[in-house]
Amino acid sequence: MLEMTQTANDKLKEYLAQNKITSAVRVMVTSSCSGQSLVLSLDEKKAGDTSILQDEVELIIDKVLLAQLGGVTVDFVEPKGSGCGCGGGGGFSVQSVNPLPKAQGSCGGSCSSGCC
């Protein structure tokens, strides 16, 4: 099941309208120093995708990925304070029922961003 909270829908709709974007929003897996995570990206719908249309916002995900994850929920979390954005910053939260597979990070296991 692919779900989007009303708060996430409102924030996405606002962003897309302000930037005059008409494409869908894709849920996808990305790799970083700390491993894999689910993120949002602008994209066009493909033949192997599942989608939902909620209040003019189309959310898409690959059917195989959705089956592996067992379900995905997109939400928006308000900021909790200042700082470098680690733990206190707001933004979109993409959660799955099943955990992502453990994968080696793409930076050789260390990050030097100076923050998280």
Domains of the chain: 2-96 (2.60.300.12)
Strand order in the sheet with 24-32: 35-43, 24-32, 57-62, 49-54
Q: How much is the pLDDT for 113?
A: 43
DSSP classification of residue 84: S
Q: How much is the pLDDT for 83?
A: 54
Quote the pTM value. Answer: 0.79
Strand order in the sheet with 91-96: 2-4, 72-77, 91-96
pLDDT tier for residue 88 given thresholds of 50, 70 and 90:
low
114 pLDDT more than 50? no
